[in-house]
Chain A
Amino acid sequence: MITSLSAIEIREKLKSKEISAKEIVTAYLKRIEEMEPKINAFITITEEEALKAAEKVDEKVREGKELGLLAGIPVAIKDNISTRGIRTTCASKMLENYIPPFEATVVEKIKEEDGIIVGKTNMDEFAMGSSTENSYFGATRNPIDTERVPGGSSGGSAAAVSAKEVPLALGTDTGGSIRQPAAFCGVVGIKPTYGLVSRYGVVPMANSLDQVGTFGRNVEDAALLLQVIAGHDKKDSTSVEIDKVDYIEKLKEDIKGMKVAIPKEYVQLNIDAKIKDCFLNTAKLLEKLGLVVEEVSIPSLKDSLPDYYIISTSELSTNMSRFDGIRYGYRTKDYKDIDELIKKSRSEAFGKEVKRRIMLGTYSLSKGHAEEYYKKALKVRTLIKNDFDNVFKNYHIILGPTTPTLPFKIGEITDPVTMYKSDLFTVAVNLAGICAISLPCGYADNLPIGLQIMGDRFKEINILKAAYALEMNLGGAK
């Protein structure tokens, strides 16, 4: 079954001419057609373009030309990443028919490596959410249990990979939006160090927290896609010039002797018992594999959730101002002056959660409140960053659960603050700008549990090595 192959296997079989790109894409498009009515992971499926791209790859194979790292591999792109000529909606009515005239750098890189883009995936509107229920195009369902959410905001990408609609997908992670859905859907999700991957063309939620990351059914596949998208981009002033690392080559290196920190603040928390057990058992497994596992204290972790929500909403409130109904996107039908044009367009086209966060952020930045909220939050952020820097002086990686609960049912959580708490374990990573990966470490009630491994800035290789070794020892990916 072509759709059971890993991304790396697909490329190998293409190279050895065992299967053609056309066969690969056709198989996956068929699978997408089969699964979509059940899970609604895609907003746009680019069948024609995908088949054309497959044609080009097959031509390259026929002519014996050098093949890119992603040759023949179907990739899904989260719908907040700009694709030239293909609508990019951010799952919002505001951009329902917006077609970007330019391409995100990460998409360019995938195409340069002969990756085949098959469509744009569903998400929480403008990346604001943890369940993909906030989408203008309807919720995405978790392929493992379709009564449950796939997580968010990159729920579509996580579900697509989990359901074998694509072997690889791109997502974005601002406070856990790749890792949490990866955990809920039983797949691997990587959030790279801030600045490793270009944000050019990615519709921003919070500029100092966003990063594009990858989904795969196993660690090696997710690392392969990361290899392709990582790298300095002069169009993005926040991307860093750093020497390229060969993740695929190095992730199989020995991990004996690596030092692992477990925040005692995590152990003390009141979370789902099965998740806690799974996490602690994994820690014991790592010890058996020859790693040194110790408890540390990261006191500022307790402030990370409120800190995240002040900083992210402050930044997004300004980012969302460009949607005024004037140049592109939704414009209201009746208006008598410019104020009405702007107010009505935004009121009619933004969903509830988006409006809620814009208001929160505007408040935090406003006169009389900025000192108390926004400026203070920036200071707390420095404390969080310093805490992590201190831990990484003595440890290679930090371990923790990805989520405090198992995937919840669609419609189950209606209180916004309860929803925000889904990000409990993930936001600190974005605040500190470090890297992290989530991979399945077990099941409870037939639902997947995610384990999060955090690494120091630009030390992706540490989290990839540890994750790969764990994956092998836990019986390999499903």
Chain B
Amino acid sequence: MAYKTLIGLEIHVELATKTKMFCSCSNEFGNEANTQCCPVCLGLPGALPVVNKSALEYAIRAGLAFNCNIATNTMMDRKNYFYPDLVKGFQITQADIPLCTGGYIEVDTKDGSKKVGLIRIHIEEDTGKSIHTESGDSLLDYNRSGVPLIEIVTKPEMNSKEEAQDFLEKLKSTLQYIEISDCKMEEGSLRCDINLNVVDEERGIKTNISEIKNLNSFSAVGKAIEYEEKRHISLLEQGRNTKRETRRWNEVENKTIVMRSKEVAADYRYGTEPDIAPIVIDKDWIEEIRANLPELPQQKKARFIREYNLPEYDAKVLTQSKELSQFFEETAKLSQDPKQVSNWIMGDLLRRINDEGIEIKDLKFTSKDLVDLLKLINDGKISNNIGKKVFREMFETGKKPEDIVKEKGLIQISDEGELKKVIEKVLAENEKSVMDYKNGKKRALGYIIGQVMKATKGKANPQLVNKIVTDMLNEK
């Protein structure tokens, strides 16, 4: 039984322009309800939309970053339906002639990388937000009405939840790199719907496509795909088929539930938006935007491998976000050992950042501080382990590494004479271990070294300790 899952995604991304798509109201998130509205985004009779050039530019940036064709002649259309959060009773969007067509995003699969094709990217306005209370009231906040969106529609070329999740990670990373959106699913600036069906390759049967909505995180996307895949396959195995319908992902019960049947598709009566003249985009402007595109993640990854001699894995991790890659590069440029920087960032730094749930810009210390810390280690002034302790303190307090070392008296003991004194004492107190070592139990060495480190509160230079202890034991 060979089953192939076909997954397409429909993603809405809020553009981080200063103002809304068709008016000059602020596009800021999180303010008091209904304080960022005007006649245009409230759809008051007589108000007229004016296209936000910035939004157009951001959308073109996205199209270029994903290798799309950019239309030089495009236009806006009306999509008609009634809903309280849709102030005009229609949404201004693009139907027939989208701004961008074609394009692709490369994703990692178990068999290497592959291109997932895009069908189109178009611009449109967002609706207001409905909040349904327990008492049955519906509250409407129109701050979001008119916010600029791009809608990205992919071809159904993803075949697993891993591919879909990687697609979303790559999408988010690129969008953040070109600085057109902060892509926060929790804040709604990135929304994703799934279109999924399964093909029984042996019998040549395809199930009907399910559309899945209400996904609030990339992990929910993965879980929903997993659930739907199973549901489709299970029906196929029973000789049945899925219905063509829209389903809602229920995060609590971990399953999808029918929302509405797609058999009678809504008639949106699409027509041209007559208040906005056809949009003509100058080819020179497109080239200017292309020239000003920042370095994209794939390009940066390749450069890191080349310039800093990093392994592919490191380059991939470090370029997953623009901020992280910038922090790495700042630090690497000041240090002599990019690989060491990479290790520290991938290890200690990323771990703490993820645990605390903060961002690079919230770090209390700077690239230079990290370089100074590494220099202290490389110069032998402190051991690697002590270095990790210092790092922890830097992270929490933002104090300079030299200051921390001084305050806590963490300078490594590298004086042989001083070390010999301590070691002699430890050996004297641990005659049994000495005997064990002499009798061939090599593990005893580790124990003794451990005791020396304990006695010096970890400050002894571990390499020296190892050497001296070994020598002294062998002398005995």
Name A residues whose Cβ lies closer than 8 Å to a Cβ of B: 81-82, 88, 90, 95, 98, 100-102, 104, 199-204, 206-208, 234-238, 314-315, 318, 320-324, 326-328, 338, 342, 362, 365-367, 370, 374
Contact = CB atoms under 8 A, between A and B. Distances in A.
A238 to B, nearest CB: 6
Interface stretch (B77-85, B181-189, B221-229): B77-85
Contact of B80 (A321, A323, A342): A321
A237 B89 contact: no
Contacts of B277: 237-238
A237 B49 contact: yes
Contacts of A327: 42-43, 87
Contact of A326 (B51, B84, B267, B271): B84
Contacts of B267: 366-367
Counting chain A CB atoms within 10 Å of each CB, the highest count among B47, B48, B90 belongs to B48
B269 interface: yes
Contacts of B48: 199-200, 235-238
A324 B89 contact: yes
Counting chain B CB atoms within 10 Å of each CB, the highest count among A208, A236, A318 belongs to A318
Contacts of A238: 48, 274-277
Nearest to A361: B269
B50 interface: yes
Contacts of B44: 82, 100-102, 328
Interface in B164-184: none
B269 A202 contact: no
Contacts of A101: 39, 44
Given A95-B45, A238-B48, 6 more contacts: A200-B47, A203-B45, A237-B275, A238-B275, A366-B269, A367-B269
Contacts of B368: none
B16 to A, nearest CB: 24
B138 interface: yes
B339 interface: no
A204 B49 CA distance: 13
A88 B47 CA distance: 14
A374 B84 CA distance: 27
Contacts of B45: 82, 88, 90, 95, 98, 100, 203-204, 322-323
19 contacts: A95-B45, A102-B39, A202-B46, A206-B274, A235-B48, A235-B50, A237-B48, A238-B48, A238-B275, A315-B271, A318-B80, A318-B89, A320-B89, A322-B43, A324-B84, A326-B84, A327-B87, A338-B138, A365-B271
Given A95-B45, A100-B44, A324 B82 contact: yes
Nearest to B79: A318
A320 B44 CA distance: 11
B377 to A, nearest CB: 61
Contact of A322 (B49, B88, B269): B88
A-B interface, 4 closest residue pairs, ranked by CB to CB distance from nearest: A321-B89, A207-B274, A365-B269, A203-B45
B46 A321 contact: no
Contacts of B47: 102, 200-201
Contact of A318 (B39, B50, B269): B269
Contacts of B78: 318
Contact of B271 (A100, A235, A237, A314): A314
B46 A322 contact: no
Interface in B276-294: 276-277
Contact of B269 (A234, A236, A370): A370
Q: What's the interface size class on B, roughly?
A: 20 to 34
A206 B274 CA distance: 9
B87 A82 contact: no
Contact of A104 (B42, B46, B51, B138): B46
Given A82-B45, A367-B267, A208 B274 contact: yes
A315 B88 contact: no
Counting chain A CB atoms within 10 Å of each CB, the highest count among B46, B78, B271, B275 belongs to B46
Nearest to B89: A321
A201 B46 contact: yes
A206 B271 CA distance: 13
Nearest to A98: B45
B434 to A, nearest CB: 85
Nearest to B273: A207
Interface string B22-55: 0000000000000000010011111111110000
A102 to B, nearest CB: 5
Nearest to A209: B274
A367 B270 CA distance: 9
Contacts of A370: 269, 271
Interface string B56-95: 0000000000000000000000101011100111100000
Given A235-B50, A367-B269, A318 B84 contact: no
Given A237-B50, A238-B277, A362-B269, A321 B88 contact: yes
A337 to B, nearest CB: 10
Contacts of B274: 206-208, 238, 315
Nearest to A198: B48
B275 A321 contact: no
B296 to A, nearest CB: 33
Interface string B87-107: 111100000000000000000
A204 B46 CA distance: 6
Contacts of B50: 234-235, 237
A98 B42 CA distance: 14
Contacts of A362: 269
Interface string B399-426: 0000000000000000000000000000
Counting chain A CB atoms within 10 Å of each CB, the highest count among B138, B140, B269 belongs to B269
Contacts of B140: 326
Contact of B84 (A102, A204, A338): A338
Nearest to A329: B45
A367 to B, nearest CB: 5
A374 B78 CA distance: 14
Contact of B82 (A95, A236, A342): A342
Given A237-B51, A322-B88, A374 B43 contact: no
B46 A82 contact: yes
Nearest to A101: B39
Nearest to B23: A235
Given A104-B46, A235-B50, A322-B45, A207 B275 contact: yes
A81 B46 CA distance: 8
Contacts of B276: 237-238
A90 B44 CA distance: 13
B90 A318 contact: yes
Counting chain A CB atoms within 10 Å of each CB, the highest count among B80, B82, B87 belongs to B82
A126 B276 CA distance: 22
Counting chain B CB atoms within 10 Å of each CB, the highest count among A203, A322, A324 belongs to A322
Contact of B46 (A203, A315, A328, A366): A203
B144 to A, nearest CB: 15
Contacts of B43: 322, 327
A274 to B, nearest CB: 39
Contacts of B82: 321, 324, 342
B404 to A, nearest CB: 58
Contacts of B87: 322, 327
B451 to A, nearest CB: 76
A206 B275 CA distance: 10
A101 B276 CA distance: 23
Contacts of A234: 50
A86 B87 CA distance: 22
A338 B83 CA distance: 8
B32 to A, nearest CB: 18
A342 B83 CA distance: 9
B276 to A, nearest CB: 5
Nearest to B49: A237
Contacts of A323: 45, 89
A200 B46 contact: yes
A314 B78 CA distance: 12
